[in-house]
Structure 1
Amino acid sequence: MKSASKFEKVAARCWNLLNEGKPFTPIFVVGTMMMYLLVQGEIGTNWAPMLQSFFIVLPFFVLYYHYDFPLFLRNYLWIPLLVFLVAGGEFFIGISVFAIALYFFFTVFFWGTFYYHLRIGTSWLNFTRFWKLVMKNSDSTSGNAQEQLPKILLLLNMWLLTFNGMKGITTHSFYWYLGFFASVWLFSFVLHRYLFDWKPKYYEEKASVPQDLEEYEVESDRVIVIVIDGMRKERFQEANTPFLDSLKANGTEYTNMETVYPARTVVCFSSMFTGTYPFEHGIQSNMVWRLGIKVESIFDSLRKIGKKGKLLGIAHLVDSMGDDVETVTAVMKNDVADTNIMKRAKHIMKEQDPDLFIVQLIGTDQTGHSRGVLYDEYLQKISEADALVEDFVNWLQKEGKMNNTTLMICADHGQADGIGGHGHLDEGERFVPFFMHGPTIRPNQKIEDKHSLVSLASTIATMLGAPFPSHARGPVLKDAFKRKEKSS
Structure 2
Amino acid sequence: MKKASGFEIIAARCWNLLNEGKPFTPIFTLSVYVLYHMNAWGDGSFWEQLGLGLLAALPLFALYFYYDFPLFLRNYLWFPVIAALLLWRDTELDLGLYALGIGLFLFFTIYFWGTFYYHLRIGTSWWNFRRFWKLVLKNSDSTSGNAQEQLPKFLLLLFVVDTAGAKWAGTSAQANDFGWGSYAWFVIGAAVYAWVLHHYLFDWKPKEMAGNTVPAARPAKSTEGKVFVLVIDGMRKDRFEEANAPFLKKWRAEGAEYTQMETVYPARTVVCFSSMFTGTYPREHGITSNMVWKLGIKVESIFDSLRKIGKRGRLLGIAHLIDSMGDDVESVTAVMHNDKADRNIMERAKLIVAEQNPDLLVVQFIATDQTGHSMGALYDEYRQKIEEADALIAEFVGWLTERGDADNATFIVCADHGQADGIGGHGHLDEGERYVPFFLYGQHVRKGVKIDAKQSLVSVAPTLSYLLGAPLPSHSRGPILKDAFE
- The counterpart of 1:197, out of the listed 200, 203, 206, is 203
Does the CA-based 8 Å contact 1:216-1:481 persist in structure 2? no
- 1:153 matches 2:185: no
**Unaligned stretches of 5+ in structure 1?**
483-488
Residue 469 of structure 1 is matched in structure 2 by: 473
| In 1: Cα distance, 2:151 partner to 2:305 partner | 46
Whole-Å separation in 2 of the counterparts to 1:363 and 1:386 = 12
CA distance in 2, matches of 1:5, 1:62: 34
TM-score by length of 1: 0.96
Match of 1:485 in 2: none
Measured after TM superposition, the shift of residue 364 of structure 1 is 0.2
What does residue range 313-352 of structure 1 map to in structure 2 within 5 Å?
A: 313-352=317-356
Is the 1:220–1:406 Cα contact (8 Å) retained in structure 2? Answer: no
Q: Structure 1 residue 140: deviation in Å?
A: 2.2
Match of 2:397, SS state, is helix
Q: One-letter code of the match for 2:187?
A: F
Is residue 2:241 matched to residue 1:269? no
AA matched with 1:264:
R
Paired residue for 2:79?
Answer: 79
TM-score with structure 2 setting the length: 0.96
Shift in Å, 1:209: 1.9
SS of residue paired to 1:349: helix
Matched, 1:118 2:117: no
Matching residue of 1:98: 100
User: C-alpha separation between the residues in 1 aligned to 2:250 and 2:178?
Assistant: 72
Contact 2:88 2:178 in 1 (8 A): no
**Structure 2 segments unaligned to the other structure (5+ residues):** none
Could you tell me how far 1:44 is from its partner in structure 2?
Answer: 5.1
Please name the residue that 1:486 is paired with. none
Q: 1:110 to 1:171 in 2, by over 3 A?
A: closer
Rounded Cα–Cα distance in structure 2 between residues aligned with 1:422 and 1:293: 22
Q: Which residue of 1 aligns with 2:212?
A: 206
One-letter code of the match for 2:58?
L
**Aligned residue type for 1:387:** A
8 Å Cα contact 1:368-1:378 kept in structure 2: yes
Label 1:201 to 1:43 Cα distance change in 2 as closer, same or farther (>3 A): farther
User: Is 1:186–2:192 an aligned residue pair?
Assistant: yes
CA deviations over 1:366-392 (Å, ceiling 9, x no partner): 000000000000000000000000000
**Equivalent position of 1:363 in the other structure:** 367
1:392-403 equivalences in 2 (<5 Å) = 392-403=396-407
Deviation at residue 53 of structure 1 after TM alignment: 2.0
Residue identity in the other structure for 1:81: V
**What is the SS of the residue equivalent to 1:421?**
coil
Q: Which residue number corresponds to residue 182 of structure 2?
A: 176
Does the alignment pair 1:3 with 2:3?
Answer: yes
SS in 2 for 1:165: helix
Residue 37 of structure 2 aligns to a residue whose secondary structure is helix
Inter-partner Cα distance in structure 2 for 1:343 and 1:443: 29
Task: Tell me the alpha carbon deviations over residues 329-348 of structure 1, each in whole angstroms, 9 at most, x when there is no partner.
Answer: 00000000000000000010
Do the aligned residues in 2 keep the contact of 1:415 with 1:428 (CA within 8 Å)? yes
Q: What is the alpha-carbon distance in structure 2 between the residues aligned to residue 402 and residue 451 of structure 1?
A: 27
After superposition, give the CA deviation of every residue in 1:249-304 in whole Å (9 maximum; x if it has no partner): 11000000000111110111111011011111111111001111111110111111
| CA distance in 2: counterparts of 1:474 and 1:238, whole angstroms | 30
Q: Which amino acid aligns with 1:4?
A: A
Question: Is contact 1:223–1:405 with CA below 8 Å preserved after alignment?
Answer: yes
| Cα offsets for 1:379-424 (capped at 9, x unmatched) | 0000000000000000000011011000000000001101132111
Matched AA of 2:146: N
Q: CA RMSD in A?
A: 1.5
| SS of residue matched to 1:285 | coil
Amino acid at match of 1:449: A
The residue type equivalent to 2:334 in the other structure is A
- CA deviation digits over 1:306-348, x for unaligned, max 9? 1110010000001111111100000000000000000000010
Change (3 A) 1:190 1:42: farther
Q: Distance in 2 between matches of 1:134 and 1:390?
A: 35
Q: Which amino acid aligns with 1:115?
A: Y
Structure 1 residues 142 and 87, CA gap change in structure 2 (3 angstroms):
same
- Larger CA deviation: 184-193 vs 25-34: 184-193
